[in-house]
Chain A
Amino acid sequence: MGEARNLRFLGWGASSVSLVLSLASALVLFSVLLLTSGKSPLDTYASIFGSTLGNGFGFSEIFVKMIPILFTALAVALPARLSLVNVGGEGQLHLGALMAAAAALAVGAGTPPWVGIPVTLVAGMAGGALWALVPAILRAKGWLNETISTLLLNYVAIRVVDYFVFGPLRDPSSSNVPQTMTFAEGFRWPAFAGRIHLGIVFALAALVLFAVVINRTRWGYEIRAAGSNPLAARRHGLPVTTYILVVLCVGGALAGLAGTGEIMAIQGRLRPGFSPSYGYLGFLVAWLAGHRPLRILFMGFLVALIATGGDSLQIDQGLPSATVNILMALILFMVLADAWRPDRLEARIQAWLDRKSRGTP
């Protein structure tokens, strides 16, 4: 028993070391890129980390960005445990926001928060889930791979939001700017500590629920089994097709909440371009985290930090804020390429421990 625990602990240690080494390698490579374009890596990192970790407002902004990223990461991670690739977080986020906006505008002013907020939650989840239902059905029927369909529907979703914002849901009083009216107070998600809002409670709850369902419940067991070997799962009576529909729709619902939070807490109204690619950042986080809950939390924080720091680069260093996308891509490469393979590290650590326990100088 104790030995098994030690092994597990060693495995954890090795993969953490591997992660740190991967991140460090990405930072080094990024430095080389900065040097070639005549920028100082130290100043750049000082700007990224200083503006976020070294500054109260910046620090709270990390969590503001982390809320939608956690939702969209879970929207990727849950289907991924069934070996489905949901690239459609961005589209599901948009449709969630659209449905929540429509619900808030339809129900109207004077709604108390204890009715209004649940309405936005239900509508936002429904919007995201319905948008994911289309690729889910196509996949469940065996007609179309979900990777392609979810990705392509992102572009459609953005246009659908445009249509409503320019058309039926447009605020007639703002003649120049395409946007909806501001939502009534009863639908707004309250913020505390800067702009950190109620969404963080929902996001963390979703993360915990994801961890419990995947690791502890029968459905999690069945999803993992069907994801690892769908043929064997089908042969043992697991409803694989139903699970395809359910996990994609639940994923879509979670992404829908990302969009809902953005408009109900941050923007206060729906306008085009309200999401700086949160859907794709969530995808990045889920893959960096290997679709595991604790790592999603850690990677979500890291990616939110880099994204937040990117905003200050423009001001401090005269670099386009998209520069940080290169850093994120490098991190993704280093982590996914398994540049520092945990199993090899584990063997080395084990050898080192053995040497130590034998007392060799």
Chain B
Amino acid sequence: MIDQPPAGTVLLETRGLSKHFGSLKANDGIDLVVRAGEIHAILGENGAGKSTLMKLLYGYYQPTGGEILVGGSAVTVDSPRRGRALGIGMVFQNFTLIPAFRVWENVALFLEAHGTDRRGLMDRIAALSRSYGLEVDSQALVRDLPMGDRQKVEIVKILSAGARILIFDEPTSVLAPHEAENLFRIFDRLRTEGYAVLFITHKMPEVLRVADRITVLRKGRISATLPRADADRNLLVKLLVGDQNPDWSDAGPRRPSSARPGAPTLEFVRVSCRTDDGRPGLREVSLSVQPGEILGVAAVSGNGQEYLGDLILGLRPAAEGSILLGGKDLDSAPPAEVLRRGVACLPEDPLRMGAVGGMTVRENLILGQQVSYWKAGGWSPDTKKLEADAGAALMTAFVQSPPSLDARAGNLSGGNLQRMVIARELGRDPGLMVSYYLTRGLDLSNAQAARELVLSHARGGMAVLFVSEDLDELFALCDRMLVLHAGRPAGTFEPALTTPQEVGLLMTGAAHG
């Protein structure tokens, strides 16, 4: 076994660590201290910069500024291999095991131990397993193992490579509850043995359950690092989402609602659906959106919001309940018909779901609308109309520097791709817009332009189902907000009558304990 330094020794430190992607400051002046024998939780919303920070520490990214110190001396972690040599090990959200290999083969591969004696390696795996309660059979095929056991193999892997600082990226997201409990027990053992566990999550109950110290990230900066004893739910939520102060929001001030009375554009009546593997996805969700109204859906990713769009578009059947569009039951109408009835969608992953990477921007701008761009029943392209419309669509969403119409969509930056899809979807004046993470990947001015664009369409009578994780944005833009947690509605609120703290508590499930 490796000699461990006494508990409390500083193993890793960052000073002013920054990572900028263009104008986006994913990490901005991070000062972090990680000690031996502690479980250090990094808590933050999506996009707060947690993963960027971990990738900087592990050598996946190179910092734009600041420095990393290991054992007191500044180091350059220019590759994961270097990170490993420095004693930093990472367990990714999606594991990096080879399913067709046995456990010991995966460990050998990671160690790059060509021609190691197999018996010796298996003894080492067995010894590690015993010491930390990891209980893995080194002969088992990885593909036969449940997720919890695969994660243990990952831990064995990095421990046998001599890691002293163990980074876990959202480790419980793939685990069943009892597996998560087991993982926390392993954390305890590791702490006792003097390892440092750095644990990234957005789940507050877990943080309060296992962490010794908690660092909260917000918009790329550390909003606080505090010992567990000083933390409680309300304080953490406040640190996560910021003080409620009319000026804190970069989403702009509140505006008068443009919701119109009368029949709702969209209605969900006690709708339930299942996930791909048959578990409950949404449970008894009811909602309604008036013309001109913006209904926010506040949820941490993976709480069922991804199914709302699929259900409306007819890509996923509802197990129970009914969905009404303009008062008429959609009744699992296929996507083509739903689109014809005036629905537009900005999907959660525009490159994968909303664009064709191998085609040009021009071709992408007519996707879903292509029928009207051909004459003679489809034989002859209406080039004149295409050029005019494509150019006009780009002008609405690109205030400055629009991409060339001949550029391949797959080569666009994430922000430009997002704007291209927004341009297309709003370009056909839909009656209902299902919008996922409208401003994701957009810098401040473009984010503001995108919000203005949606608001102006709402003033014109478009109903909006506005899914977001950004409480600032939800509070600034929405007329009402539906909070989803674990697929269930956790309440509907008007921004003026609630606080981000209250909504944050419901989103993270902390309100239920």
Q: Which residues of A contact B (CB under 8 A)?
A: 4, 216-219, 221-222, 224-225, 228-229, 231-239
Contact residues, B461-505 vs A (CB, 8 A): none
Question: In the complex, A198→B143 CA distance in Å?
Answer: 57
Question: In the complex, A207→B241 CA distance in Å?
Answer: 61
- CB-CB under 8 A from A217, the residues of chain B are 374, 378-379, 381
Q: Which of A218, A229, A234 contacts B335 (CB 8 A)?
A: A234
Q: Which of B338, B340, B355, B371 contacts A229 (CB 8 A)?
A: B355
Q: With A216-B381, A236-B339 in contact, is A228–B357 under 8 Å at CB?
A: yes
A237 x B406 contact (CB < 8 A): no
A218 x B374 contact (CB < 8 A): yes
Question: In the complex, A360→B372 CA distance in Å?
Answer: 52
**A229 (CB) vs chain B CBs: closest residue:** B356
Q: Least Cβ distance of B384 to chain A in Å?
A: 15
A235 x B335 contact (CB < 8 A): yes
Q: Least Cβ distance of A28 to chain B in Å?
A: 33
- Interface residues on chain B, size class: 20 to 34
Q: Least Cβ distance of A187 to chain B in Å?
A: 32
Question: In the complex, A196→B339 CA distance in Å?
Answer: 51
B358 x A228 contact (CB < 8 A): yes
**A237 (CB) vs chain B CBs: closest residue:** B336
**A-B pairs with lowest CB-CB distance, top 6:** A237-B336, A236-B368, A228-B358, A218-B378, A218-B374, A237-B335
Question: In the complex, A237→B368 CA distance in Å?
Answer: 6
Question: In the complex, A219→B358 CA distance in Å?
Answer: 17
Question: In the complex, A269→B438 CA distance in Å?
Answer: 66
**A236 (CB) vs chain B CBs: closest residue:** B368
- CB-CB under 8 A from B367, the residues of chain A are 225, 232-233, 236
Interface centre among B338, B354, B367, B371 (most CB of A within 10 A): B367
10 more A-B residue pairs beyond the given contacts A217-B379, A224-B359, A229-B355, with a C-beta to C-beta distance below 8 A: A216-B379, A216-B380, A218-B370, A225-B359, A228-B359, A229-B358, A231-B352, A232-B353, A235-B353, A236-B368
A235 x B378 contact (CB < 8 A): no
Q: Which of A216, A219, A221, A238 contacts B363 (CB 8 A)?
A: A221
Question: In the complex, A218→B359 CA distance in Å?
Answer: 14
- CB-CB under 8 A from A229, the residues of chain B are 352, 355-358
Does B224 sit within 8 A of A, measured CB to CB? no
Contact mask B325-344 → A, CB, 8 Å, 1/0? 00000000011111110000
- CB-CB under 8 A from B339, the residues of chain A are 236-237
A235 x B354 contact (CB < 8 A): yes
Interface centre among B313, B334, B368, B380 (most CB of A within 10 A): B368
B315 x A234 contact (CB < 8 A): yes
Does B347 sit within 8 A of A, measured CB to CB? yes
Does B345 sit within 8 A of A, measured CB to CB? yes
Question: In the complex, A4→B313 CA distance in Å?
Answer: 38
Q: Least Cβ distance of B410 to chain A in Å?
A: 9
Q: Which of A218, A221, A232, A237 contacts B352 (CB 8 A)?
A: A232
- CB-CB under 8 A from B357, the residues of chain A are 228-229
Q: With A225-B359, A228-B356, A235-B353 in contact, is A218–B371 under 8 Å at CB?
A: yes
Question: In the complex, A3→B354 CA distance in Å?
Answer: 30
Question: In the complex, A233→B363 CA distance in Å?
Answer: 12
Question: In the complex, A62→B409 CA distance in Å?
Answer: 41
Q: Least Cβ distance of A7 to chain B in Å?
A: 9
B378 x A239 contact (CB < 8 A): no
Contact residues, B375-397 vs A (CB, 8 A): 378-381
